[in-house]
Homo-oligomer: A and B are copies of this chain.
């Protein structure tokens, strides 16, 4: 896709913030490598993580479409990305319908992931939420082929777990520890080795659910 190459401004970025809520200049990014996440903050400081971006994902479509972001994006690791100027979005719709369709498809897929996430936070117990998050990221890593010997990079700190799942830090850690002791996974440095993704019937069901088709872009 030549056009993608042409507007590429891919530099190694180490900045923790890609953009912040309220930014009017949020651009559209493709994440070449590294992990990031999208979140909201409330006036009193509480923070809700909305979704994660593994390598290869599109970042900022929602913010670009709505002109102003109502969320922020931060990195979890060092990242490398490619920038599309936001102002050309309309031109994409006008001149490159296939690309426009693919962007919209990725947007719809992201919404689907937020749907998943909301369902988890609204309906699951702490155990189920932590397991679902771990196994969900494991499955995404599998589909991206970045799993090595059942182990994959797990760049979240404990606080991210808590802010993702709507749990207190203390309880998130306790539950995490309990699941580790139960033999669901084993931390290996920054990585996580999944030992038994079917620890409970319910988790097995979740793990075996069919995947969504892959992105086209």
Contact = CB atoms under 8 A, between A and B. Distances in A.
Contacts of A65: 104-105, 107-108
Chain A binding surface SS class: helix
Nearest to A209: B43
Contacts of A193: none
B108 A70 contact: no
Contacts of A17: none
Interface residues of A, number: 45
Contact of A110 (B61, B111, B117): B111
A145 interface: no
A127 interface: no
A182 interface: no
Nearest to A38: B115
Contact of A212 (B66, B112, B122): B66
A165 B122 contact: yes
Interface in A12-71: 40, 42-44, 46-48, 50, 61-62, 65-67, 70-71
Contact of A118 (B62, B108, B118): B118
Contact of A108 (B98, B107, B115): B107
Interface of A: 40, 42-44, 46-48, 50, 61-62, 65-67, 70-71, 90, 93-94, 97-98, 100-101, 103-105, 107-112, 114-115, 117-119, 121-123, 165-166, 202, 205, 212-213
19 contacts: A42-B123, A43-B202, A43-B205, A44-B202, A48-B118, A50-B118, A62-B111, A66-B105, A66-B108, A66-B213, A67-B213, A70-B112, A90-B101, A93-B100, A93-B101, A107-B111, A111-B111, A111-B114, A114-B118
